[in-house]
């Protein structure tokens, strides 16, 4: 990026970006901003410029940045103990499992760290359940997944992705996954066979562009799984903890799963915390030595995650997401612009599809950055809106205004145009 200002802060930005480019892996394409601190729904760069966060770290920062209750819980635990092996009991793990089981309405928890680890845990549980309980022949278990899915980036998980960019050069991939179109119950029914152990889907596909299934789809999948005696496992890593206007997205329909995969917001934006939560019969496929994690269930993570669950309930964040989500979607749908092909979402989670023949989605994100709003396109055509659930209504509407202005600016300018001096939302 060309240096267009000579301030010390701008030079610092160039130095930091340069170091990342030289010594870091090029597995992301970040926007040209260096963020140094944050509070609530806002982030700030090295010169103190304020940005409205419309990404929430893919829902990991759903409670906002440095929520005081979560920071306090972390500090209290740091005065006691940090990490011990799961070879011993600690005073936080049992209460955490009780709280999370109660929140989900399921029976037992297995804490991990990253979302991908929790997905891998669910896959192991489903396969062993298939062999032990469904009499599936050894090494023949199949799990039905949906096209457009995003469950993580381990080699097993990308093996059942339909996104070629995530797969190129990383095979061979593990067998045992059957892909069907998302939202198509007929195709799902046809895919069920004698070796099917589970259906693993996101209730709303986040990375695909906030793609919602048809109404009634989740409850139909639940009935289908019951009819065939197979498991329903839902990945709510992004959609959980109030993002869609309910505590979990499955609550919008009668679709309680046999297992649920959680992460991101569970760590309160402070630590990586994930979990697989399931019915007791499913969780009991694990025995000592069959699965584990050095950091999974550590005391720091348990303290923060328990407080995150309390904040979720006591600050009524799902209800807030539902109310502000209606405002967000109404404001987005009120934009009259020829480049907008579709607006969809639920709660504080929306995707706006743009016509690539009329506008470049990355350019729109750059213009929004210049206007003081942070977000990122997905699949080159969809702009995501997923702010922290604590965002103020004024900031939410300000972000939509910046988006509308960015559409106008990018429609009138050439692709990849830039300006020398940036203006920021106040």
Element of type H or E holding 146: strand 142-146
- What number of CA atoms fall less than 13 Å from residue 212's CA on the CB side? 18
Phi, psi of 155 (to 5 degrees): -65, -35
Element of type H or E holding 39: strand 35-39
Query: CA-to-CA distance for 325 and 321, rounded, in angstroms?
Result: 5
Q: Which residues are catalytic?
A: 150, 235, 264
Please list, residue by residue across 153-189, b when 16 or more beta carbons sit within 10 angstroms of its beta carbon and e when fewer do: ebebbbbbbbeeeeeeeeeeeeebbbbbebbbbeebe
| Nearest-5° Cα angle at 267, 265 to 269 | 70
Helix (H, G, I), strand (E, B) or coil at 386: coil
Residue 138 neighbours by CB under 8 Å, 6+ apart? 131
Q: Which neighbouring-strand residues pair with 276?
A: 110, 261
* Residue 138, token pair as written in the block: 């050894």
Residue 361 neighbours by CB under 8 Å, 6+ apart? 354, 377, 380, 381, 382, 383
């Amino acid at each position: 990026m060309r240096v267009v200002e000579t301030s010390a802060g701008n030079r610092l930005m160039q130095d930091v970006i340069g170091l990342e480019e030289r010594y870091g892996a090029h597995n992301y394409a970040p926007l040209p901003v260096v963020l140094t601190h944050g509070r609530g729904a806002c982030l700030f760069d090295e010169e103190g410029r304020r940005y409205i966060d419309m990404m929430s770290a893919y829902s990991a920062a759903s409670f906002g940045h440095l929520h005081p209750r979560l920071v306090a819980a972390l500090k209290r635990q740091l005065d006691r103990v940090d990490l011990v092996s799961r070879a011993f009991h600690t005073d936080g793990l049992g209460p955490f499992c009780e709280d999370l089981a109660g929140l989900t309405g399921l029976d037992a928890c297995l804490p991990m760290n990253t979302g991908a680890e929790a997905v891998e845990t669910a896959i192991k549980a489903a396969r062993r359940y298939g062999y032990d309980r469904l009499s599936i022949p050894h090494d023949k278990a199949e799990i039905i997944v949906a096209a457009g899915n995003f469950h993580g980036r381990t080699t097993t998980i990308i093996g059942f992705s339909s996104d070629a960019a995530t797969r190129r050069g990383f095979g061979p991939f593990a067998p045992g996954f059957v892909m069907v179109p998302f939202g198509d119950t007929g195709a799902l029914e046809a895919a069920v066979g004698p070796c099917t152990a589970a259906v693993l889907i996101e209730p709303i596909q986040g990375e695909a562009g906030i793609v919602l299934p048809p109404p009634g789809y989740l409850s139909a999948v639940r009935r289908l799984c019951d009819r065939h005696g197979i498991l329903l496992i839902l990945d709510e890593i992004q959609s959980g903890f109030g993002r869609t206007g309910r505590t979990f997205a499955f609550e919008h329909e009668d679709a309680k799963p046999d297992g649920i995969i959680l992460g991101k917001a569970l760590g309160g934006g402070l630590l990586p915390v994930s979990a697989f939560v399931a019915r007791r019969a499913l969780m009991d496929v694990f025995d000592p030595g069959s699965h584990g994690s050095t950091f999974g269930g550590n005391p720091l993570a348990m303290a923060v995650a328990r407080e995150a669950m309390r904040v979720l309930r006591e600050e009524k964040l799902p209800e807030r997401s539902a109310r502000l989500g209606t405002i967000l979607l109404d404001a987005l749908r009120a934009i009259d612009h020829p480049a907008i092909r579709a607006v969809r979402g639920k709660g504080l989670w929306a995707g706006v599809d743009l016509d690539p023949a009329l506008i470049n989605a990355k350019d729109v994100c750059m213009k929004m950055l210049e206007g003081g709003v942070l977000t990122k396109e997905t699949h080159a055509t969809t702009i995501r809106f997923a702010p922290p659930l604590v965002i103020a209504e004024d900031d939410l509407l300000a972000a939509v205004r910046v988006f509308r202005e960015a559409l106008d600016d990018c429609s009138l300018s050439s692709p990849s145009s830039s300006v020398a001096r940036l203006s920021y939302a106040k």
